[in-house]
Structure 1
């Protein structure tokens, strides 16, 4: 069976009992980064001999056949990302789709999600929202997406790196007008968690942008 396991986005205390139980029983663990997952397992004091296998965007397609074979053999396979809930801007959906096609069992082990956490912290109406993930690096493609979602009701959630944040905020204001409300959520669940109202000063660490 395939287990899609959510892990903490910063605070180790956010790991769920079910996630720990699952990590302790899987035979193979598909990881976005085996080194980071190895550190997490060590911090959680999980000592079973899990086989860690690299599973990131560039290799997902080529590794799916092997994963399917493991599942058919009856092995318990887990899937984790570096932090948070897998498949949200991370690999895995192609594997889930293949499991659906072949009738193989799979389940999600829910937990922390940067998207949901940022929405809650934003103080913006969240009855409807659109998750845009990481926007394209090319200016033209990025602006095209921002224009497209301008017509969609509700808040928008974007992942961004600190070094491109100021440019993104400027493009959002240019596209949505001066009345746009922007929240920048950084270091969520960690000691220096902060929610900024727009671009105010230097921003470091992992960032989620919420705007309407």
Structure 2
């Protein structure tokens, strides 16, 4: 069902269907007037954490009159059909997550898909986004970017994911848990090169907001210390190759002949040439076998 563009915005959030609502990523004062209105008037709220939405409502001095139900990764598969049925019966559901926009690395995608398939109207209340805030603060190109979510937790899978992105020319945005930050940035430095520019954004919009900018090698060393809070990483896209691949390979082989470790030579030459180190490593191994 395609919604008519002349339907007033207020009526879109009060009639039957689903409303996705972006919530503050840190400072509760970032809540929009439309979010305040929606929370105050909602008859049914689905929240990633019911305690968080109730705390937000209390901070905004909003009485939650409607029923609040938990909707998270552990119950969304079972609860989605029930929620869709309730919307089909005439209820308006407000969906919020702990912070930011539902369905962006948070619950919501499954429910939106079910609503689309069931021809249930879906609308959205825009709100704060850690992706866009970090991108704007990074100092890196913003004209083209991609969001890659969380890297895999296991080292091998994480490395393979990043190697797939080694030639990505757009600025890349990642989420990461603080206890995995050091390992992730270290792998990024290995795969993308230590000189690739990046920014680690911590606790965005909160009291202890911090943005660390520099090469991935520099950020790797910093991340080895204790880093806390919500983390967003922004990484510069791959630049134009500054050395011919054959010349870069010859440089690597020459360094190895002079006694440098193959892995270290590939990192150094790859970073200077704009060529992924794993690509140079594979080419050097093949050349040495020949």
| TM-score class, shorter | over 0.9
Match of 1:83 in 2: 99
Per the TM alignment, residue 196 of structure 1 is displaced from its structure 2 partner at its CA by 0.5
Give the Cα–Cα distance (whole angstroms) in 2 for the partners of residues 164 and 190 of structure 1: 21
The equivalent position to 2:49 in structure 1, one of 33, 36, 54, is: 33
Task: Look up the SS of the partner of 2:206 in the other structure.
Answer: coil
Q: Which structure is richer in relative contact order (CA contacts within 8 A, separation 6 or more)?
A: 1
Which is higher, the Rg of structure 1 or of structure 2? Answer: 2
Moved more, 150-159 or 118-127: 150-159
Match of 1:113 in 2: 129
Moved more, 129-138 or 105-114: 129-138
Q: Retained in 1: the 8 A contact 2:95–2:102?
A: yes
Higher helix share: 2
Give the Cα–Cα distance (whole angstroms) in 1 for the partners of residues 227 and 25 of structure 2: 18
Task: Look up the SS of the partner of 1:89 in the other structure.
Answer: coil
Q: Retained in 1: the 8 A contact 2:173–2:232?
A: yes
Task: Look up the SS of the partner of 1:189 in the other structure.
Answer: coil
Give the Cα–Cα distance (whole angstroms) in 1 for the partners of residues 124 and 160 of structure 2: 33
Matches within 5 A, 1:1-12: 1-12=17-28
TM-score, normalising length: structure 2: 0.71
Give the Cα–Cα distance (whole angstroms) in 2 for the partners of residues 207 and 8 of structure 1: 15
Task: Look up the SS of the partner of 2:212 in the other structure.
Answer: strand
In the alignment, structure 2 segments of 5+ residues that lack a partner are: 1-16, 214-218, 237-290
Matches within 5 A, 1:143-154: 143-154=159-170
Task: Look up the SS of the partner of 1:132 in the other structure.
Answer: strand
> Is 2:180 the partner of 1:167?
no
In the alignment, structure 1 segments of 5+ residues that lack a partner are: none
TM superposition outliers: structure 1 runs of 4+ over 4 Å: none
Give the Cα–Cα distance (whole angstroms) in 1 for the partners of residues 228 and 74 of structure 2: 27
Higher strand share: 1
Give the Cα–Cα distance (whole angstroms) in 2 for the partners of residues 58 and 10 of structure 1: 24
Match of 1:207 in 2: 231
Give the Cα–Cα distance (whole angstroms) in 2 for the partners of residues 102 and 79 of structure 1: 17
TM-score, normalising length: structure 1: 0.96
Q: Retained in 1: the 8 A contact 2:21–2:101?
A: yes
Per the TM alignment, residue 202 of structure 1 is displaced from its structure 2 partner at its CA by 3.6
